[in-house]
Amino acid sequence: MVTLLQYIKKPKTLLISALKRLWWIPDRIYIQILFYLKMGRKLNLKNPQTFNEKLQWLKLYNRHDEYTIMVDKYEAKKYVASIIGDNYIIPTIGVWNSVDEIDFDILPDKFVLKTTNGGGSCGVVICKDKALLDIDKTKKRLNQSLKLNIYRSLKEWPYKNVKPRIIAEQYLEDSDGELKDYKFTCTDGTAHNVMICYDRNVGDTKFYFFDRDWNLLRLNKRGKNAPPNFTLPKPKSLDEMFDVAAKLSEGIPYLRVDLYNVNGRVYFGEMTFFPQSGFDNNLLKETDTLFGQYIKLPNKN
């Protein structure tokens, strides 16, 4: 809960909160105001150049019904399976319309709960030991996520008509006892690079970019400041992951494809059209420019 003192210290937070109550104003005006408040500069929609700018353009002018399926945590599985096969899909244990429908007694000792309409880690509950799970807290977290509307607050159109539900998935972990994310930057059938995310379990998630040959790309602050010859263990099936990500992005101007690698076996995670919703102030200026150059904007639809 944001306190009055926090609003006083950060007036932009107050303005953004006020803007979200005006979600009904035209999307273009809303996005222009929000971009200025979050990024501190005017949004160029007439001739967008940077990654953040082009993502805002795509929110407004690149809307297709299948995008709603692709961001729905439940429906996306069927969509992805139709393209690359069932063997990449994390098994679903159950799906429910409300938290009161969940029968925790039938769930295994380890599982993951997700809301179908949530973005990123929003509405995700990872249970490693059901005996220690706070069910009331879990239900509260899921209920809060079910009420969210990412279209209203951030104008991410694919989420506008997602049906809010809850799914339970099989719990996965690799030989290190964690589940590393591999996030691929893709444009129209080309996977340009991958960002590996690890050490989530210790509360200090680390992010590094690599190319297909597993060369470090100094595209973020941590990578830029890494020592010479820095590297990480190359994951098994890296080429397969690049191929899968590229295939899923065919015909789409920009798509981040998130995959998991469990001891060499590749699993689909999710697809993201707008990382950080296109308001990433932490992105290096040169990376914002480079990723913007990757995206070839289509005709308005």
Rounded to whole angstroms, how far apart are CA atoms 60 and 169? Answer: 33
Backbone phi and psi for residue 184, each to the nearest 5 degrees, phi listed first: -100, 130
State yes or no: pLDDT of 6 exceeds 70.
no
Query: What number is the average pLDDT over the span 182-192?
Result: 98
CB 124 within 8 A of CB 118: yes
Q: Which of 76, 87, 56 is CA-nearest to residue 155? A: 56
Tens-digit pLDDT profile for residues 87-101: 999 999 999 999 999
Question: Looking at domain 91-171, which CATH architecture does it have?
Answer: 2-Layer Sandwich (3.30)
Percent of the chain with pLDDT over 70: 95
Question: Residue 33's pLDDT is what?
Answer: 97
* Token pair in block for residue 266: 């590749």
Tens-digit pLDDT profile for residues 19-41: 999 899 999 999 999 999 999 99
Question: Residue 205's pLDDT is what?
Answer: 81
What are the extents of the domains in the chain?
1-43, 61-88+174-301, 91-171
Q: Which fold has domain 61-88+174-301?
A: D-amino Acid Aminotransferase; Chain A, domain 1 (3.30.470)
Rounded to whole angstroms, how far apart are CA atoms 206 and 221? Answer: 11
Amino acid at 47: N
pTM: 0.93
Cβ neighbours for 216, distance < 8 A, ≥ 6 positions apart: 208, 209, 210, 223, 226, 230, 231
Query: What number is the average pLDDT over the span 205-220?
Result: 94
Dihedral angle, C-alpha 236, 242, 245, 248, nearest 10 °: -120
State yes or no: pLDDT of 1 exceeds 60.
no
As a whole number of Å, the CA-based R_g of the chain is 20
Tens-digit pLDDT profile for residues 63-78: 999 999 999 999 999 9
